[in-house]
Amino acid sequence: MSEQDSTVKRTMLIIGISLVVFMLISVTIANLLARADKHANPEKDARVQAEIEANIKPVGEVSVGAAPVAAPTAAAADPVTTFQSVCIACHGTGVMGAPKLGDKVAWKPRIAKGKATLYKHAIHGFNNMPAKGGRGDLSDETIHAVVDYMVSKGK
């Protein structure tokens, strides 16, 4: 054998042994990491548990019980205040055909139908008007008072 062949064999042997050593070290490190994961208990780690709970927390709740009813306020009992806070959005501007407060021409045919009809439409809704002006928390008595106020301005 020539000296050159001998050098090539030695180099190949060194490379082969290096690869085997590298593989053994890699397998040993992988086994150590796998054992460490088995011994780690994320359920006992408060930070991990808090993160898991934050990720699976519901974004809303469903309630099947009765809806809470807001207690009537002094403003809701006063028809002028109620009109100014609820009804004026449509009846102050005439939006979607709502008769404006004080417009005698627009109110005349409505008043002719009688207060019972006006009360019914105000409480249950009519055409574009939502029931109770969109404020379901208002009492029927408050709605009656507001209708009476609006009718008084439309006569």
Full residue range of the structural domain in which residue 36 is found = 3-55
Short-list 97, 109, 114, 99, CA closest to 150? 99
Kindly state the average pLDDT of the residues 106-116.
Answer: 89
pLDDT of 42 above 60: no
Residue 64 lies in a domain: no
Kindly state the average pLDDT of the residues 106-110.
Answer: 88
Q: Are residues 110 and 38 in the same domain?
A: no
Q: What digits encode the pLDDT tens for the residues 49-103? A: 888 888 888 777 777 776 665 555 544 468 888 888 888 888 888 888 889 888 8
Residue 65 lies in a domain: no
Mention every residue, 6+ apart, whose C-beta is less than 8 A from residue 110. Answer: 99, 118, 154
Q: How many domains does the chain have?
A: 2
Mention every residue, 6+ apart, whose C-beta is less than 8 A from residue 151. Answer: 107, 111, 115, 118
Residue 66 lies in a domain: no
Short-list 47, 30, 46, CA closest to 38? 30
CA distance 117 to 129: 14
